[in-house]
Structure 1
Amino acid sequence: MPLVNTAELIAAAQAAGQGIAAFNVITLEHAEAIAEGAARAGRPAILQISENAVKFHGGNLSPIAAATAAVARASKARLSLHLDHVESVDLLRQAHPAGFSSAMFDASKLTYGDNVKATAEAVRWGHERGIWIEAELGKVGGKEGEPPLDAHAPGVRTDPAEAAAYVRDTGVDALAVAVGSSHAMTERTAALDHELIAALKTAVPVPLVLHGSSGVPDKEIREAVASGMVKINVGTALNTAFTGAARAYLEAHPSAVDPRKYLVPAREAMAGTVAHFLGLLG
């Protein structure tokens, strides 16, 4: 099936009052598992490649992007490609030739004024090329290389009035907000602020994005979508499933040397995780 435009998937989910999941791709097995899980669930999904994943591949976007696109095109599911947590302008500018229809430009480490300026320029560049742009306001902690951050600490969560001004001044197509989740959580214990999600939905005229969804319990995800979240990002949960299955196989077969032997159950575990998350959103 041809690649679908991310904006189309987001709009359809929002119109139906549903969520759509975006899953992080690190290896070819991730992409294959996401495609399989989406086909199994009968749901569309977004395959996203982060700047950190690109760094893992030697800083070269093209190979993993081409492989992910090929997997998506071979799938029966409706899938799009998204470039995630991009801080490098040079990497952002590779999105269009590499076949991405959307990108998350992350200027959240900058001061508010510099964030607005940099994001507005990214939006201008993206819209000239038909690329849907997501940005972040607030502090969704847990990213690699960052100090621990309490998702409930004062000043961490996204302020609705500031979010409305930010969207107006940058022109972004979607906004990732801090409402109680955190990146890289391996336990699903996050408690979301659903009143804040509802307030942000009222204040902001673009779809809301939940980062760090791997640490959010099923019930909380369902309620978040009902409160106004549209794009639900999942990454660590796939890695947890992958590593757990691979570890179990290697512990049971300590003499194994063929990576295919443990990559098969690892990929299957990720596909099951994908199907589970997608089942929460429709």
Structure 2
Amino acid sequence: MPLVRTAELVTAARDTGRAVVAFNVITLEHAEAIAAGAERAGAPAILQISENAVKFHGGDVGPLAAATAAVAAASGARLALHLDHVESPDLLRAAHAHGFGSVMFDASKRGYGENVKATAEAVRWGHERGIWVEAELGRVGGKADEPPLDAHAPGVRTDPAEAAAYVADTGVDALAVAVGSTHAMTTRTAALDHTLITALREAVPVPLVLHGSSGVPDGELRRAVAAGMTKINVGTALNTAFTGAVRAFLEAHPSTTDPRRYLVPAREAMTGAVEGFLRAVAG
């Protein structure tokens, strides 16, 4: 099936009070697992490639983007291609040439004024090329290159009034907000602030995005969608499934040298994780 635009999936989800899940792609096996999991669940999904994943592949987004798009095109599921957590202006400008229908431009590490200025410029550039632009306000934290951050610390969470002003001043199409989750959680123990999610939904006219959803239990995710979250980002949960399956296989078969033997169960483990998140959010 041809690639679907992220804007189409997010708008459809928001109009029906549902959410669409976006999964991070690092390897070809990630993309294959996301497509297979979406087919099993009978649900749409977003395949997103982060700036960190691009760096892992030598700084060239082209090969991974082409492979991911090809996997999506061969799938029977409705899938979109998204460029995630982009800080580099050069990578932002590469989005259109490599088939991305959307970008998450991340200026959240900057002060508020600089964040607004840089994001507004990214939005203008994207909209001139038909690219849907997401941004972040607040501090989700937890990424490998960041100091530890308590998701419950004062000043970390997104303020509804500031969020409304930010959206008005930048023109973003969606807003990632800090409401109690963090990136890179390997246990599903995060407790979200659902009252804050509701307040943000009422204050902000664009769809809300939950980053760090790997650490959020199924029930919390469903409550978050009911409160107003429209795009749910999942990354670490796939890596946990992948690595766990590889480790288990190699412990049982320590003489194995053919990577295909352990990548098959790793891909299947990720497929199951994708299907589980899609069914949890849909339920």
- TM class by shorter chain equals over 0.9
Q: Kindly provide the CA deviation profile for residues 98-131 of structure 1, in whole angstroms up to 9, marking residues without a partner as x.
A: 0000000000011100100000000000000000
Aligned mates of 1:260, 1:182 — CA distance in 2: 33
Unmatched 5+ residue regions in structure 2? Answer: none
Equivalent position of 1:37 in the other structure? 37
**Alignment correspondent of 2:135:** 135
Find the counterpart in structure 2 of residue 258 from structure 1.
Answer: 258
Deviations, residues 121-171 of structure 1 (Å, cap 9, x unaligned): 000000000000000000001011111100000000000000000000000
- Provide the rounded CA distance (Å) in 1 between the counterparts of 2:253 and 2:26: 25
Secondary structure of the residue aligned to 1:91 is helix
- Shift >6 Å, 4+ stretches: none
Structural mapping, 1:264-275, within 5 Å: 264-275=264-275
| Aligned 8 A contact 2:218 2:281 in 1 | no
Q: How does 1:1-282 map to 2 (within 5 A)?
A: 1-282=1-282
Q: Which amino acid aligns with 2:2?
A: P
Deviation at 1:193, TM superposition (A): 0.1
Give how far 1:185 is off.
Answer: 0.2
Letter in 1 for 2:149: L
Contact 2:105–2:133 (CA under 8 A) maintained in structure 1? yes
Give the Cα separation in 2 of the matches to 1:22 and 1:92.
19
Q: Distance in 2 between matches of 1:230 and 1:83?
A: 17
Q: What is the CA–CA distance in structure 2 between the aligned matches of 1:14 and 1:104, rounded to whole Å?
A: 18
Q: CA deviation at 1:281?
A: 1.9
RMSD of aligned Cα (Å): 0.4
Q: Secondary structure at the match of 1:136?
A: strand
2: CA distance, partners of 1:191 / 1:216: 7
Q: TM-score, normalised by structure 1?
A: 1.00
Whole-angstrom CA distance in 1 between matches of 2:156 and 2:138: 6
Q: Give, in whole Å, the separation in 2 of the partners of 1:281 and 1:147.
A: 30
Quick one: which amino acid aligns to residue 188 of structure 2? R
Count of aligned residue pairs for this structure pair:
282
CA distance in structure 2 between the partners assigned to 1:272 and 1:187 by the alignment: 17
Q: Percent same amino acid at aligned positions?
A: 79
Matched residue of 1:281: which SS?
A: helix
1:149 partner letter: L
Query: How far is 1:16 from its partner?
Result: 1.0
